[in-house]
A = this chain, B = another copy of it.
Amino acid sequence: MDQTDLKILNILQDNARISISELGRMINMTGPAVTERIRKLEEKEVIRSYRAVLSPEKLGKAITAFVIIQVNRCDLFTDFCRRSPDVAEIHQISGQFNFLIKVVTESMQSLERFRRECSEFGFTQTMTVLSTPFDPKGVPLDD
């Protein structure tokens, strides 16, 4: 894991669809050398995946919210979240509440429906997202 790898990661983090040859040009390296480095970074799972980032609002999901919840049956709740199309992320956390989940859903109605389902598992608190000042950053890498 050297400077070159960090450069590659920084570029792919910003533009996952760049061609290998253009990436190579940017860092003065030939295609095969870049390909091999990327292969190793994928193998070590430094790179986990390549994803297109979509706009939920333009796909009928107007509401984003974070729900924290205090549950007993952790496995059951995790399974419920895995199956729920409204759950985008789930994290087990320290503190009074033991899960924080990110919900992306159609409307306030569907959010409320979801929250009610959740309350079967424990006490919840909902924080609706009003705005997101800037797009999620990737992992900051200094090369």
Contact = CB atoms under 8 A, between A and B. Distances in A.
Contact of A128 (B45, B46, B48, B93): B93
A94 interface: yes
A88 B17 contact: no
Interface in A50-96: 50-56, 58-59, 61, 64, 66, 68, 78, 81-82, 85, 87-95
A54 B85 contact: no
A48 B44 contact: no
A52 B13 contact: yes
Interface residues of A, number: 60
A104 interface: yes
Interface in A25-58: 44-56, 58
Given A16-B16, A50-B51, A93-B127, A88 B56 contact: no
B53 A48 contact: yes
